[in-house]
Amino acid sequence: MAFNFICRVLPALILLSLLSCRVQAQLLTTGFYARTCPNLQSIVSSAMAKTVANEPRMGASILRLFFHDCFVNGCDASVLLDDTPTFTGEKNAFPNQKSIRGFEVIDTIKSLVEASCNATVSCADILALAAREGVVQLGGPSWPVALGRRDSITASQAAANNHLPSPGSSLSTLISAFAAKNLSPRDMTALSGAHTIGQARCATFRSRIYSDNNINPIFAALRRLNCPSSGGDDNLAPLELQSPNLFGINYYQNLVGGGGLLHSDQELFNNGAQDSLVRQYSLNPVLFFNDFAAAMVKMGAISPLTGNNGQIRLNCRKVN
């Protein structure tokens, strides 16, 4: 009942955030393709529903892909570009190696969209819509996605290495990294709730379960079963143990109990400035859903290419 209520009231609750988005990126609007590609949203929604039904983890993967795109020179689909002999993209940047996935899903959706409205919709907009639909399919909130982004014709591995916070980040580092993108500590704490779904590699949380002191010992022992002190780097563990395929507040409840999988997760609840908000989210799914949705609107407005900047790629993996 509460979740249905959230879905009904979210558009009104985050209207101000959407208006702010349109100010920052003047040509972005939810109705951008209303005439040129009226079936766009239904195409993306249907494709993501099938994808997540087949592999629930992919909802988290596409959301992560969108985050890794937006945090590196804006939401411009630069993360989707393949390396070539003469071009170095972002896919092999350190934070992205063996981490980001879901490129084939975006390729499939792009093909479906191209069949309906050729050379019209950017890969950046498809990724933004797919990220939302993945969250919705896993029981999370919806939000209005402003559209009109264009695709970059370049990428920056150096920016990916420098701008994406690591799983070992401190709270101050996290706050600074998000502030650089005009996202507040509250936005950061809400967006971190994306870790209520998905999985992480042993290499990203090994130091957490073997070295950190602020960890629930039972939880640490459980995670060590599948993540040895050496080797097994690619072994996976759910970021949120109880319901890794359901978008909810268990992530924050785990933090309160010392059960954050990543060091950067537990930094949100470690006698610091975000403790109070984490407690609130752990008890109030409506508050978390509202804040997450509003923060996603803001993140989706980071430095988009519009107007005559960039291009509409025909293949998301390469420039035209």
DSSP characters over 10-23: HHHHTHHHHHHHHH
pLDDT by position in tens, the chain (length 320): 444 444 454 544 444 454 444 444 457 999 999 999 999 999 999 999 999 999 999 999 999 999 999 999 999 999 999 999 999 999 999 999 888 999 999 999 999 999 999 999 999 999 999 999 999 999 999 999 999 999 999 999 999 999 999 999 999 999 999 999 999 999 999 999 999 999 999 999 999 999 999 999 999 999 999 999 999 999 999 999 899 999 999 999 999 999 999 999 999 999 999 999 999 999 999 999 999 999 999 999 999 999 999 999 999 999 99
315, burial (CB in 10 Å: exposed 0-12, middle 13-18, buried 19+) = middle
CA dist 256 to 100, 222, 268, Å? 28, 18, 9
Tokens 């907009």, residue? 125
The residues annotated as belonging to the active site are: 68
CB 165 within 8 A of CB 177: yes
Closest C-alpha among 159, 176, 144 to residue 93: 159
